[in-house]
Structure 1
Amino acid sequence: MQNKVEKILNSDYIVSFGSFLAQDNEFVKEAIIESIAKKSSEFIYMHPVDNVDIKVYYSQFIKYEVGSEEGIATMLLDTFVKNPSEEIKAYLNDLDMGYISAESSAGEEEFEEAKEKEEEKTSKCLLVGRDITTHERVENIIKILAALKKYSDLEIICLDEKTQEAVDACLDENLEEVEELHSYNGTVVYTIFDQEACQKLVGSQSFAKIAKIQDKDEVYLNFEGQRLKKQFIINKDLYGTIALCPIEKENISFLVEGYRYKQVGIEKAE
């Protein structure tokens, strides 16, 4: 991790993709802040959930739909690719970027803006978070990231070491089509590690309205026959309909299995 932190410190253009940052790695967040202070780095934050802790630091926020990371990875490849192989060029030509943009709710013009910010920079990195590691299409995303590493100026830095190793070792340019996006409607929770708040479920007023609950209510999260009790807390700095679900790192519940976002049923505890 120390090597990765040093790379971030030496970068003057940083894109964060699929990480809620401080809740994934405090050292990485601090390295980004230091890089901005010392090198006037451009910092672009890409995630379905805005993060109030870094709002004063990023120069651009690209919000995308939960589950659309595979499509976002192809948009990154299409945006930053330079002198690709014929195989990668044909792959990108066959993609309907307008459709992928619409499905992921991330505008093509947002990526054009990100590209413009990159042009005067000399040391550039893409920070890849653990949302990618747990995505059901991680194998294809790794191939896309490997192509991005090979055919762009972006250094690929994965928070998860196994994902980093897979990207570094990948030579397969037979990229697959982007799968149709599974819709995450209703009440969705996003798992973060936080020992101190592990009994809480933190969400916006909008989430409370959809879930039909109120601040400080005791609630059950129901998922595929499993349930977990939490206390719901409204955070006025959060927006949208995704709630943050802190857990302990030793947690063995459904929250740590598979993709970090879960579409759950919310039941008020009696």
Structure 2
Amino acid sequence: MRTTPSRRSAPCRRSSAGPSRAAACTASARTGTSTGSPTCRRRPRPPRCPSRWSRRPATASTAPTAVQDAGECPEPAYTVEKSASSAGPVNAGDTLTYAVTVVNTSTVTVNAGFTDDLAGVLDDGQVVPGSVTASTGTAALTGTSLNWSGVLAPEGTATVTYQVRVDDPVTGDRVLRNTVTPTSEGGTCVAEGRCAVEVPVADDCDKPRKPHGNHKPHENQKPHGAHNPYTAFKPFKPLSGDLFAGKPLAVPGVPGLPARNR
């Protein structure tokens, strides 16, 4: 009697019937059995990216790209840098312009961000109202911190600027000191010392004085008239007349002074 082999042990032989071969290979892979045929081996899977790419919702920075589909997993990276319009010393009443530059240095789009601590600046000055601007993204001053966030394409750049006016008179420690810090994944300072700025404030005695202009006469001041020319000193003439003639000169406190007016 002829027996029919079961589906589980059926060999995966080449056949013109494509669906039958695919079904046999699928069943063999599902049950973990191998029929010895090289056509039933499992296909190797490409390496998966870290969980942050697959578990997060698809956004501009986490959506799969052609590079990731090829098995590569690029990391997001960006740099920040801080600068001021003057190295100082600055004087009371002066205005400085600060700039923070953000650059995407990776090959993928990144969600970048930073915070700029202004506590060491606001004790000697004030942020000029309406001076905070950003070339892209959103920047806002909250308390003593300036926060920015935005999406940058590969090699993209964002610049955030704001102005600070030095108090007059100065009541702080006379140093405008602040530091910018990246707040998103992959953010770093562009180089050591390039994310902190210190600008000294000059003492009041060192403040340059404005030259005096032409003084205007007071409203009640009368103009000077022509001065009489100087004449040589003339000696006094001796006293004469009946008023002092023959009378001794009396000097208080000096009794019996034998002096007469002649």
TM-score (norm 2): 0.20
User: If each structure's helix is expressed as a fraction of its own residues, which one has the higher value?
Assistant: 1
* Larger Rg computed on CA atoms: 2
